[in-house]
């Protein structure tokens, strides 16, 4: 018979994303509703290792649903990579009698959770808190909608000045390993080209397209580049274009960390709340090492190691849409 979980720890790990606070709030209040104790673990796995663990009440999460970032803070913990660090973290959890964990983060956070749970038999529930939307098993990740809307708002403003000056702008968005922000923001803003890590970038084809557009007097162009694109990001792309098309007015804009901050969108608040609620339900039902996602607007549960191993894939149809709509 499964041992009943009575005390839950919740942490945010890896890169911050808008909606993490809404998720923490949902975990805390759902746990309290069911008569469980809940503890916030500060600074991700670092807080587990260093015993920065605080008991949370309903008022602990008041007035945070609209805030970006994470009240629990986040960090990357090298000590947790080692067995001794994980053992220390386990001893700290036992000190507080914590017998279940909710981890809000990305695939790196889930790898750590999977290993930790296998070694010390602590049930872990993973929730996708990442702006990159690169985790299999869910149609949404907490923070993606806000981040992509931030990018769209910025690119729309850049298009205004591009139009005023007849310029080509190369805009870099976040996405070291995944191109979803670039893809969605590029389609939403009518970008002429979208460069992402998942697809091979053939710069000669882009130069041919730009030369043809220049011939047709279409001088206003937007190229959206994911930071992890194989060609090397916006600066490298702009440099190549200037060399091949010296008459083009080329400018670079790197949006950077503004995509991570800001008040979460309605969608991010709602999905974060749903995921947080169901994470607690999973622990109460005795589910061990589960990733909680949303697929086709229904809750989805897959083994945590599957979420770690698999990546969301961008279909060729998306790139066909980009090519047709930008022509």
Residues 102 and 154 reside in one and the same domain: no
Among the listed residues 130, 22, 302, the one whose alpha carbon sits nearest the alpha carbon of residue 10: 22
Q: Is there a domain that residue 114 lies in? A: yes
Q: Is there a domain that residue 324 lies in? A: no
Residues 27 and 83 reside in one and the same domain: yes
Domain end, chosen from 220, 239, 260, is at 260
Domain of residue 156, residue span: 144-260
CA dihedral angle for residue 73, residue 74, residue 80, residue 85, rounded to 10 degrees: -10
Q: Is there a domain that residue 315 lies in? A: no
* 113-141 pLDDT per residue, tens: 999 999 998 999 999 999 999 888 899 99
What CATH number is given to the structural domain containing 105?
3.40.50.450
Residues 176 and 74 reside in one and the same domain: no
Q: pTM for the complete prediction?
A: 0.92
Residues 269 and 283 reside in one and the same domain: yes
User: What does residue 313 show for φ and ψ, rounded to 5 degrees?
Assistant: -110, 140
How confident is the model at residue 1, as a pLDDT? 39
Residues 135 and 182 reside in one and the same domain: no
Residues 248 and 298 reside in one and the same domain: no
Q: Is there a domain that residue 316 lies in? A: no
CA dihedral angle for residue 127, residue 132, residue 133, residue 137, rounded to 10 degrees: -50
Helix ranges (H only) for 245-314 are 266-284, 304-309
Q: Is there a domain that residue 320 lies in? A: no
Q: Which of 99, 132, 229, 268 is catalytic?
A: 132
Sheet holding 100-105, edge to edge: 53-56, 37-41, 7-12, 100-105, 124-128, 290-295, 298-303
Residues 125 and 190 reside in one and the same domain: no
The answer to whether 126 and 138 are in contact (CB under 8 A) is no
The answer to whether 46 and 80 are in contact (CB under 8 A) is yes
* C-alpha separations of 242 from 151, 173, 211 in Å: 25, 20, 12
The answer to whether 259 and 150 are in contact (CB under 8 A) is yes
Cβ within 8 Å of residue 96, ≥6 positions away: 7, 9, 39, 53
Ordered mean pLDDT values, 10 residues apiece, the chain (327 residues): 82 95 98 97 96 97 97 91 94 96 92 92 95 89 97 96 91 92 94 88 87 77 92 92 90 94 97 98 92 94 80 74 74
Residues 24 and 87 reside in one and the same domain: yes
Residues 35 and 172 reside in one and the same domain: no
How confident is the model at residue 69, as a pLDDT? 95
Residues 156 and 173 reside in one and the same domain: yes
Residues 139 and 270 reside in one and the same domain: yes
* 34-52 pLDDT per residue, tens: 999 999 999 999 999 999 9
Q: Is there a domain that residue 193 lies in? A: yes
Number of domains in the chain: 2
Catalytic, 132? Answer yes
Residues 50 and 196 reside in one and the same domain: no
Among the listed residues 261, 218, 305, 309, the one whose alpha carbon sits nearest the alpha carbon of residue 20: 261
Q: Is there a domain that residue 318 lies in? A: no
């Amino acid at each position: 018979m499964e041992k009943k979980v009575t005390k839950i720890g919740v942490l945010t790990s890896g890169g911050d994303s808008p909606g993490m606070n809404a998720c923490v709030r949902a975990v805390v209040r759902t746990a309290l509703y069911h008569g469980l104790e809940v503890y916030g673990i500060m600074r991700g796995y670092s807080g587990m290792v260093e015993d920065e663990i605080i008991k949370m009440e309903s008022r602990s999460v008041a007035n945070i649903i609209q805030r970006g970032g994470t009240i629990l803070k986040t960090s990357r913990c090298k000590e947790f990579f080692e067995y001794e660090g994980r053992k220390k973290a386990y001893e700290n959890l036992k000190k507080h009698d914590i017998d279940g964990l909710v981890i809000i983060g990305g695939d790196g956070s889930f790898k750590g959770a999977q290993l930790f749970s296998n070694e010390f038999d602590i049930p872990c529930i993973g929730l996708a808190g990442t702006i990159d939307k690169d985790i299999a098993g869910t149609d949404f990740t907490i923070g993606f909608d806000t981040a992509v809307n931030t990018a769209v708002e910025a690119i729309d403003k850049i298009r205004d000045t591009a139009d005023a000056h007849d310029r080509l702008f190369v805009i870099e968005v976040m996405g070291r390993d995944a191109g979803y922000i670039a893809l969605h923001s590029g389609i939403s803003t009518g970008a002429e080209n979208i460069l992402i890590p998942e697809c091979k970038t053939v710069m000669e084809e882009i130069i041919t397209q730009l030369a043809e557009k220049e011939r047709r007097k279409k001088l206003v162009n937007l190229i959206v580049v994911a930071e992890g694109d194989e060609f090397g990001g916006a600066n490298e792309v702009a440099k190549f274009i200037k060399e091949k098309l010296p008459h083009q007015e080329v400018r670079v804009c790197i949006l950077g960390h503004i995509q991570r901050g800001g008040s979460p969108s309605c969608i991010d608040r709602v999905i974060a709340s749903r995921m947080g609620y169901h994470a607690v339900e999973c622990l109460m039902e005795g589910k061990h090492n589960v990733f909680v996602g949303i697929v086709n607007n229904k809750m989805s549960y897959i083994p945590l190691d599957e979420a770690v191993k698999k990546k969301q894939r961008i279909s060729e149809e998306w790139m066909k849409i980009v090519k047709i709509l930008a022509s």
